[in-house]
Structure formats: structure tokens, C-alpha cells
Amino acid sequence: MPLRPLLFRIYWALERMIAPGLRYSHELYEHVLESQVGRDTEWLDLGCGHQILPEWRAEQEKHLVARCRSIAGIDADVPSLTKHRTIKVRVAGNIGRLPWRDASFNLVTANMVVEHLDAPGMQFAEIARVLKPGGVFIMHTPNRRSYTVIAARLIPERLKRALVYLLEQREAEDVFRTFYRANTKEEIEKLAGGAGFGVQRIRLIVSSAELVVVPPLVVFELLWIRLLMTKLLKPFRTTIIAVLQKTT
């Protein structure tokens, strides 16, 4: 068996033993999307890159996209747009100046995108502009107080890119600058209110470990994740899934 699949099998066994019930945050995000996407959904995916869901969820992504009335994507990275596997209407552009009319969509999503926003107040307002009254904005983003973000901000950029490839098999051209200016529960609530959103739900969750391919170290990471699953350490969990609704 190739090394990487073997390391993942070892990790899954360790996860079941040390942190039972732990779920990958992308899986939880997918469930939220499924609850919101229907035949009347006019959907805009921000920072759409070359996929909506992780690589191994390609079939599920096709089914999800097929359920909605229409879908468009926007991203500043043109090479990523050219490789997108499901969205046909793709635009190269800036989230701060969305090239759509007011009230064009009833669903806007951002999967691991909000951490890249440099002016989230303005950008949240722009998202609200293109949403219809009662429309929903769903975001899936890292928690700035998490150990993963703290470590990422301390690691030099060149080393970070090498680590991202080792841990996630993600190429350097798919690693983009982060700001983390809308990445705590309190910041999201404040930005939501300023942009005309009501907060439906903000969940702080823990996700699967990062050091999957380093078994000796992943044991310690899983032990920390197990602590994060307690109520006491909830503010330091790794990931945020927020559902905001434009006020009518």
C-alpha cells in the first residue's frame, strides 16, 4: 500500500480511539449547504476556486449543483477559475465589487474564503447588496483563536507553503494571503449587524487533525482536539460555520 493512504488509515484508527465523534468541518459545511440548496435557489459561491467541496466529494458536488435553479462563482485567481469542475458561470473579480445587480441571489456561500478578506466591513455590505431580502450568507472559515491559525501566523511564508504541500498536497499557487479580520464569533456578529444581516447561527466546531501524515505528532494534536471538544475550551475550537440572513 502507498505510504499516504496507509498514514490516513492509521490516523482514522487513532481518531476513533482518542477523539470519538470528531467530524471533518467540510462535512458539516456540506450538510449546511444541503439544508439551504433547493430548486428555487439562485446561488453565488465566493472565492469558488476550482471546486465547491473537497476533491473526494466530486459526485456529491455535482448533485448539489444540479438541485439549484442557477449558480455562479467569482474568484480573483483566473487559473483556478479555468479548472472549476461544476460551476459554468464563472467571473474573475473582487468580492468588494461584485459585478451583479442588487438582489440577484438568495444564497451566497464562502468556503474557506472569509479569512482572505482585507476589508470585511465593505465586503460583507457588498454581499448583502447582491442578496435578496431574506437571503442567506453561509461561511466556513478558520477561528482566529485556534491553534492552527496561531501556528500559521508564526510560520514564515516559504516554510508555510512547503508544509501545506506536505500536509494537504496543495500546490504553492493555491496558497493565498490571509488577514483573519472576520474570524471570531464576536467579529462576525459585529460585521453582520453593520452590513444588514441577522445572525441565524454561528457554530464553533473542531475539525480533523492537520498532522495526519506525521503519526507521532498527530497523537498529541488529537489529545488537544479532544480537549477542544469540551465546553470550557469552545472559544478556541478550530473552525467557524456561520449562517447569516439579510434582514427584510
Extract the C-alpha cell encoding 226: 479532544
CATH of the domain at 127: 3.40.50.150
Give me the torsion for CA of 170, 108, 116, 206, rounded to 10°.
-70
Name the phi and psi angles at 49, rounded to 5: 55, -135
Scan for cell 496507509, then name that residue.
Answer: 6
**Within 13 A of 164's CA, how many CA atoms are on the CB side?**
16
What pLDDT is attached to residue 180? 96
Give the structural domain span for 134.
3-246
Give me the torsion for CA of 153, 137, 39, 105, rounded to 10°.
-110
Whether this model's pTM surpasses 0.85: yes
pLDDT in tens, 80-115: 899 999 999 999 999 999 999 999 999 999 999 999
Count how many domains the chain has: 1
pLDDT in tens, 14-32: 999 999 999 999 999 999 9
DSSP one-letter string for 158-224:
HHHHHHHHHHH---GGG------SS-SHHHHHHHHHHHTEEEEEEEEE----S-TT-HHHHHHHHHH
